[in-house]
Structure 1
Amino acid sequence: MAPRLFADTTPLRSRDFRRLWVAGIPTVIGANLTIFAVPVQLYALTQSSAYVGLAGVFALVPLIIFGLWGGALADAMDRRVLLIIASCGLAVASMLLWLQAALALNNVWVVLCLLAVQQAFYAINSPTRSAAIPRMVPADQLPAANSLNMTVTQVGAIVGPLLAGVLLRWVDLSTLYLIDALTCLVPILATIRLSPIPSTGTAGGASRWGLAAVLDGFRYLAGNRVVLMSFVVDLIAMVFGMPRALFPQISHESFGGPVEGGTTMALLAAAMSVGAVAGGVFSGWLPRVRRQGLAVVGSIVVWGLAIVGFGLACGLAGGHTGAVLWIALAFLAIGGAADMVSAAFRSTILQEAASDDVRGRLQGVFIVVVAGGPRVADVLHGMAAAAVGTTVAAAGGGGLVVVGVLLAAAVVPAFVRYRVAPIPSESDKV
């Protein structure tokens, strides 16, 4: 029973994948310190969720541009070299964020511009890393490898905010940025030790990494409605249903937390990832699901309903912590588990469709959707909260998710009907 219930660790037998995976543990924790620190610093400087939401614009533009271009670069050059370059850029950006905080510049626009630089390098690093994994492990181990990666990412999203909440009792925000900068050195050292991952593409010149290459990736994507719909439904889920830009205001106004962040803010920031990690640890059942399109739609509906519950719980808090806070956190955790299931199936659908010479470009589109969607949500939720309050912004967004994904499923029923061939059991192979 256990092998079907718990995550498969077989991909860790690959030396290169193991190095990249282990290096990712401190890296994602450090990155989440910055993810925690930026909105807290912006809210402390302005006491406005609109400015916190504005960070979504400054992050979204480089995510789109460099996510798509970075995916083309990942198909055109040695992915190991590109990972080293991107990791160095992330380290420099984090160091500059530390410097502005340590010098107490207290300038919103400096923080936002440095965030944009950091997101540009992240947008190059992420699709390159994802496109490199199929060259490190056999095809039948890809679902397990992706599950392991997502679990580490979500563990970092738990440990990072909780660690930040604890550290802020003794240190200031600049220390969080500094820790992130130091952890960025780990993947640089790990990537240097990887085997070369040269391009398998056949095109030459600028066509391998320029606009033409990006457009080729979109043409490839447009020819596969199932993969395209996997992006569309995720955009619906994230754009309307991701309330993270509201966390500083909800922490302060609904649950009486300090303006500068603190434990309540940390719990809100980590709750989704708690559910996602639980979903990843107990992911052994996922390969047995054949109707993956239907599973994606179902998990997104659960996500939307969970966010509705979260918004309503925050509306009942009335400035007091206690049982209502834990109810709100429970709804976020349920949403996180549902999102993990959705992400696992969407990643599998994408990997089955992509050949290696376009995998980087499709992963570039994937990172634009996965990371860009929540950034759009930051802007929309920030403006909505300023206009109608956090309760309506969060709960209303969750309701729009449910309606939107069901409409999308009705418009493209081929996505709901999508099936994969069953994975043969060990007894079948004998």
Structure 2
Amino acid sequence: MSLTRTFVDVRPLRTSPVFRRLLVGRTVSTLGSFMTMVTVLYQVWDMTHSAVWSGAVGLAQALPLVVLGLFAGAWADRGDRRRIFLFATVGQAVCASLLAVQGFTGHVPVAGVLALVAAQSSFGAVAGPAAGVFVPRLLPKELVASGLALHQVTGQAMMLLGPALGGLFLGWFGIGVCYLLDAVSFLIAFYGAFGLPALAPEGEPSRAGLHGVLDGLRFLAGHRVVRGALVTDLAATLLSMPVALFPLVNAERFGGDPRTLGLFLSALAVGGVTASALSGTVTGLGRPGLVMLCGAGTWGAALALFGLMTDPWAGLGLLALAGAADSVSVLSRTTIVQTRTPDALLGRVTAAEQIVGQAGPHLGNLRGGVLAGWTSGATSLVTGGLLCLLAVVYVGTSTPELRDKAPAPDER
């Protein structure tokens, strides 16, 4: 197989200037968002020295996505997705600017900081479903998976780079400058999306309010392939999310060395970035459902084995494998959602995918921590990984359509 078919397919960058500009804008805004994530955690800890307040940062970021997501999706399925995305991006830039102002002045209490974080996340809950239609509408169908892979590999690269830059800039310039850079990044994202054509829904627009949300839920309940994709992702994150267990497992198995703990997180990210960069083979298979099932199953199996490891290097290798498998699974799941969902429903289904992607890891970390408190970190990892593997096998056997080659978009 040629190298050009092994590495991520860059044809969307060559063939679509609009997609190229959009990707650059969203990559820069992702970098700014990860810098802000580190900055918020640093500021809240510096203000309170409280683990409870630090934990509240995650709640402030996730809760608006869960509460507003489906309604934002229904809105995106009623109007011009381009205009909605631009509105939400301006809102995010304004919130980042206000965070910068309080960062320079230092006169806002911690609850006010979290309120601004929640407001920015609320605009993000609107932007996500609107942006969900961009790739399938801008690219021909045969390049959609490649376009999604480019989004994923750049996003994961920013996940590695953003926190590191955020830490450096915090030390050099302070929290105000970091927030200000995030605001600028959203303006670049605005520029990237400004040249998009109008993107009104194709087909019957969503009904207003709760009726539109319920229509989207009925579609998810009835479409076996899309439902199976979201259930698979929820099983992987809810049953076997390992991050909250890393400090405990590090203490139990590897002497509590902080350098080892940092490598655990890096190994997951390095595996994910590598798999995304080498995604050309995966996107060319035409079997995203089967690839997703294999990736999610490998994620669970690798984490279960990691829970048994006493050698740190073998453990890091398993975590890199888990990160690569998760990256492949997420790419395949997103491809399924964006190619199997009718355009008129894509905002709502993307919102549901966003909720699963945000709530699943938080609940999975909670589940893992509670079980580890009753037993041990290793037990929680092993049982969670095995449960994930069993859940993936169940989804794969009960939803044979996921294993088929290129199901029709309206297959139920």
Same fold (TM over 0.5): yes
Query: What is the aligned partner in structure 2 of residue 286 from structure 1?
Result: 282
2:62 is equivalent to residue 75 of structure 1: no
Query: What is the aligned partner in structure 2 of residue 300 from structure 1?
Result: 296
- What residue identity is the alignment partner of 2:40? V
Select 1:191's aligned residue among 190, 193, 209.
193
Q: Is the 8 A contact 1:290 1:422 kept in 2?
A: yes
Query: What is the aligned partner in structure 1 of residue 3 from structure 2?
Result: 2
Within 1, Cα distance between the matches of 2:124 and 2:5?
Answer: 34
Instruction: Report the CA distance between 1:282 and its aligned residue.
Output: 0.7
Within 2, Cα distance between the matches of 1:35 and 1:345?
Answer: 27
Query: What is the aligned partner in structure 2 of residue 220 from structure 1?
Result: 219
Q: Is the 8 A contact 1:17 1:133 kept in 2?
A: yes
Within 2, Cα distance between the matches of 1:135 and 1:193?
Answer: 14
- What residue identity is the alignment partner of 2:135? I
Within 1, Cα distance between the matches of 2:91 and 2:389?
Answer: 37
Cα gap change, 1:109 to 1:241, in 2 (>3 Å): farther
Deviations 1:71-119 (A, max 9, x none): 1122111111011101011112222333344334584433332222122
Within 2, Cα distance between the matches of 1:8 and 1:292?
Answer: 16
TM-score by length of 1: 0.81
Query: What is the aligned partner in structure 2 of residue 162 from structure 1?
Result: 164
Query: What is the aligned partner in structure 1 of residue 272 from structure 2?
Result: 276
Within 2, Cα distance between the matches of 1:243 and 1:93?
Answer: 32
Q: Is the 8 A contact 2:396 2:402 kept in 1?
A: no
Cα gap change, 1:291 to 1:11, in 2 (>3 Å): closer
Within 2, Cα distance between the matches of 1:367 and 1:394?
Answer: 29
Cα gap change, 1:398 to 1:303, in 2 (>3 Å): farther
Aligned runs of 1:173-184 on 2, under 5 Å? Answer: 173-184=175-186
Q: Is the 8 A contact 1:75 1:209 kept in 2?
A: no
- What residue identity is the alignment partner of 2:282? L
Q: Is the 8 A contact 2:69 2:355 kept in 1?
A: yes
Within 2, Cα distance between the matches of 1:281 and 1:4?
Answer: 11
Q: Is the 8 A contact 1:49 1:249 kept in 2?
A: no
Instruction: Report the CA distance between 1:306 and its aligned residue.
Output: 4.0
Aligned runs of 1:17-416 on 2, under 5 Å? Answer: 17-45=19-47, 49-104=51-106, 107-203=109-205, 208-244=207-243, 254-256=256-258, 270-289=266-285, 292-308=288-304, 324=312, 330-377=317-364, 379-380=366-367, 387=373, 392-393=376-377, 396-397=380-381, 399-407=383-391, 409-410=393-394, 413-415=397-399
Structure 1 stretch displaced more, 226-235 or 39-48 = 39-48
Query: What is the aligned partner in structure 2 of residue 427 from structure 1?
Result: none
Instruction: Report the CA distance between 1:191 and its aligned residue.
Output: 1.9
Within 2, Cα distance between the matches of 1:329 and 1:356?
Answer: 41
Within 2, Cα distance between the matches of 1:92 and 1:163?
Answer: 22
Within 2, Cα distance between the matches of 1:235 and 1:152?
Answer: 23
TM-score by length of 2: 0.84
Deviations 1:306-332 (A, max 9, x none): 44566677xx7xxxxxx94x7665444
Within 2, Cα distance between the matches of 1:400 and 1:79?
Answer: 39
Q: Is the 8 A contact 1:275 1:336 kept in 2?
A: yes
Within 2, Cα distance between the matches of 1:111 and 1:251?
Answer: 32
Deviations 1:343-370 (A, max 9, x none): 1211222233211111111111111111
Within 1, Cα distance between the matches of 2:367 and 2:48?
Answer: 18
Within 2, Cα distance between the matches of 1:305 and 1:226?
Answer: 23
Within 2, Cα distance between the matches of 1:305 and 1:233?
Answer: 14
- What residue identity is the alignment partner of 2:394? A
Number of residues of Structure 1 aligned to a counterpart in Structure 2: 402
SS at match of 1:212: helix
Cα gap change, 1:167 to 1:393, in 2 (>3 Å): farther
Cα gap change, 1:344 to 1:186, in 2 (>3 Å): same
Within 1, Cα distance between the matches of 2:110 and 2:385?
Answer: 31
Within 2, Cα distance between the matches of 1:248 and 1:38?
Answer: 21
Deviations 1:142-197 (A, max 9, x none): 11111111111111101102222333443434433222122111011222222222
Cα gap change, 1:327 to 1:27, in 2 (>3 Å): farther
Query: What is the aligned partner in structure 2 of residue 419 from structure 1?
Result: 403
Over the aligned positions, Cα root-mean-square deviation in angstroms equals 3.3
Structure 1 stretch displaced more, 232-241 or 50-59 = 50-59
Q: Is the 8 A contact 1:67 1:365 kept in 2?
A: yes
Within 1, Cα distance between the matches of 2:80 and 2:243?
Answer: 36
Structure 1 stretch displaced more, 148-157 or 90-99 = 90-99
